[in-house]
Amino acid sequence: MTALVGTRALVRLALRRDRILLPAWIVVFVGMAASSASASFDLYPTVRSRVLAAGSFNGTQSLVALYGRIYDPTSLGGIAMIKMGGIGAVFVAVLAILIVVRHTRAEEEAGRLELVGATVVGRYAPLTAALLVALGMSLALAALTAVGLTAAGLPADGSFAFGFAWAGVGIAFAAIASVTAQLTRSARAATGIASAVLGFVYVLRAIGDTAGRTGPGWLTWLSPIGWGQQFRPYAGNRWWVLLITVGFSIVVAAGAYALLGRRDLGAGLVPDRPGPATAAPTLRSPLALAWRLQRGALLGWAAAFTLLGLVFGNIASSVGDFVSTPEARDFITKLGGEEGLVDAYIRLCLSVIGVAASAYGVQAAMRLRSEETGMRAESILATATGRVGWASSHIFMAILGTTLLIVVAGAGAGLAHGAQIGDMGAGFEVLGGALVQVPAACVLTGIVVAAFGLAPRLVAAGWVALVGFVLLGELGPLFELDQWAMDVSPFTHVPEIPGAGLIVTPLVALTAVAALLIAVGLIGFRRRDVG
């Protein structure tokens, strides 16, 4: 077991580094789960109301595609936790991926693993430590979530099943990330590949859940997200499903160990090829550099967004068929729709796209900070490039990327929807509905830039703001928050297209806010120290 020597010390090191990150995430998750649960008591007080709501939910293909199926229409837990079981599980998976990559490939890329590796640390110790931390995080999350849900008033056995369904997703993606961390030399690419797997299995589950009797329903069983839902918390609590997750995770993690045993420290499985000896004539400006650094990720995101748009658009026209009862209508209204259900569904999808695209903007703008702390900005700023010129190049990429993603997803959704109903005019309206998301999404980039200029240590505020806005949008109506509180989120102000007409004022206002935040950030950056 010499290959594992030092694991314990590395686990302690990882916990020391993540002493704020981990508890903070867990608190957010548990809080989200418990607040969703407690809010549902008022919404669905009687069995009758639940059965009606669950019936219309399960009858609405788009909702099933987005969140999954409700398996016991009489149980409050089933209907209360349906969103958390779908979207919440994605967040758990993201956390697991981040933890594993952060303590394996990211450390290796930074050369710190070499520092550690030269001491008495076995070959497999860093990977083992990262997996143990992810495992511990998942179990702690499961236990605390179960306690939180039980405290909120849901049955204890179902609450534990729900907690462990989340933990299962976390463990499975920790294993997946442990493999992707072996594949490339770059932590960014390792995170990217694992996230792509996450997106893929989410779509597998969506297709499987919405398949008819003759359709490929088995696809759900190929997806770790699907396993989480087939656990069926509050609807039978099928603990045996956890065995699939555990078996899968063990096999995948064993694969990671096998890969690790075959490669050199610092190397990926894909060897580095030599590149050009001279720069292309176009690589002559900060913007060209920013494009060069971000283009790979952007093209990957754009491909995913196109696919997402096509899937959303394809389902859209079938939404109306399933909703006939007034109760169902009422339920859709509670989820944020109004009269035209198809329109409401499309708007829901487009707002998801807007939020996801703003996440791209946040991470692209945060490049400013990572270039600065990585000392690479210094090389550029010591040339004739001014600070504003350098910063603008990455800001431009963030805005351009956000816009591009919204355009390709909107075009994909519009094209698919238009083709389905044979009316390309409707397709263009979908594209329009996507485009109005751009100013709101750019506000997030603005928040990152403002933080970068004024308080560079707090650039992660961009993520905090994004999560806050999403929670406001998702949970605000449940808690019947005042309008002023809802108005804090830029996404509240996006005109409702398709459906209502185009209102220009909020778009201009949001654009102005984004521009102002960026200007403030640039002025702050000009005045502060670099590094």
Partner 1 sequence: MLVMLAAIEAAGLRKSFGTTRALDGLDLTVATGEVHGFLGPNGAGKTTTLRVLLGLLRADSGTARLLGGDPWRDVAELHRRLAYVQGDVALWPNLTGGEVIDLLGKLRGGFDPERRATLLERFDLDPTKKGRTYSKGNRQKVALIAALASDVELLILDEPTEGLDPLMAAVFRGCVEEERERGRTVLLASHILAEVEALCDRVTIIRAGRAVESGSLADLRHLTRTSIAAELAGPVSGLAELPGVHDLQVDGDRVRCQVEPDQLDQVLRRLSSVGVRSLVSQPPTLEELFLRHYEDDVADDGSTSSEGSASP
Q: What is the 3-state secondary structure (H, E, C) of 45-64?
A: CCHHHHHHHHHHHHHCHHHH
Q: How far is the CB of 414 from partner 1 (least distance, A)?
A: 34
* Residues 404-463 close enough to bind partner 1 by CB under 8 A: none
- 522: tokens are 């640039």
Query: Among residues 329 and 528, whose Cβ is nearest to partner 1?
Result: 528
Query: Contact with partner 1 (CB under 8 A): which of 35, 49, 318, 385?
Result: 385
d(CA 145, CA 78) in angstroms, rounded, equals 15
d(CA 421, CA 432) in angstroms, rounded, equals 17
Query: Contact with partner 1 (CB under 8 A): which of 185, 298, 329, 335?
Result: 185
Question: Site map for partner 1, 293-332, x if CB under 8 A?
Answer: x--x------------------------------------
The verdict on 482 binding partner 1 (CB under 8 A) reads: no
Residues 6+ apart with CB under 8 A from 128: 4, 7, 10
Quick one: which of 75, 360, 76, 69 has its CA closest to 229?
Answer: 69
d(CA 92, CA 151) in angstroms, rounded, equals 21
Helices H / strands E in the chain, number of each: 25, 0
Query: Among residues 274 and 425, whose Cβ is nearest to partner 1?
Result: 274
Query: Among residues 214 and 383, whose Cβ is nearest to partner 1?
Result: 383
Look up residue 8 and give its DSSP letter.
H
Number of residues interacting with partner 1: please give it, by CB under 8 A.
36
Quick one: which of 376, 96, 51 has its CA closest to 225?
Answer: 96
Q: How far is the CB of 406 from partner 1 (least distance, A)?
A: 27
Q: From residue 308, give the alpha-carbon distance in Å to each of 92, 205, 311, 412.
A: 21, 14, 5, 8
Q: How far is the CB of 417 from partner 1 (least distance, A)?
A: 38
- The torsion angles phi and psi of 50, rounded to 5 degrees, stand at -70, -45
Q: How far is the CB of 297 from partner 1 (least distance, A)?
A: 11
Look up residue 124 and give its DSSP letter.
T
* Residues 396-415 close enough to bind partner 1 by CB under 8 A: none
* Residues 357-376 close enough to bind partner 1 by CB under 8 A: 374-376
Q: How far is the CB of 298 from partner 1 (least distance, A)?
A: 14
* Residues 94-133 close enough to bind partner 1 by CB under 8 A: 109
Q: How far is the CB of 280 from partner 1 (least distance, A)?
A: 8
* Residues 260-289 close enough to bind partner 1 by CB under 8 A: 272, 274-280, 283-286, 289
Query: Contact with partner 1 (CB under 8 A): which of 12, 19, 262, 292?
Result: 292
Contact between residue 432 and residue 497 where contact means Cβ atoms under 8 Å apart: yes
Q: Which stretch binds partner 1 (CB under 8 A): 4-12, 40-48, 351-359, 385-393?
A: 385-393
Query: Among residues 119 and 383, whose Cβ is nearest to partner 1?
Result: 383
* Complete DSSP assignment for 391-432: HHHHHHHHHHHHHHHHHHHHHHHHHHHHHHHT-HHHHHHHHH
d(CA 122, CA 309) in angstroms, rounded, equals 46
Q: How far is the CB of 361 from partner 1 (least distance, A)?
A: 21
Query: Contact with partner 1 (CB under 8 A): which of 46, 384, 425, 480?
Result: 384
Query: Contact with partner 1 (CB under 8 A): which of 383, 480, 482, 483?
Result: 383
Rounded to an integer, what is the distance from CA 364 to the centroid of its chain? 15
Which positions touch partner 1 (CB under 8 A)?
Answer: 109, 185-186, 272, 274-280, 283-286, 289, 292-293, 296, 374-376, 378-387, 527, 529-531
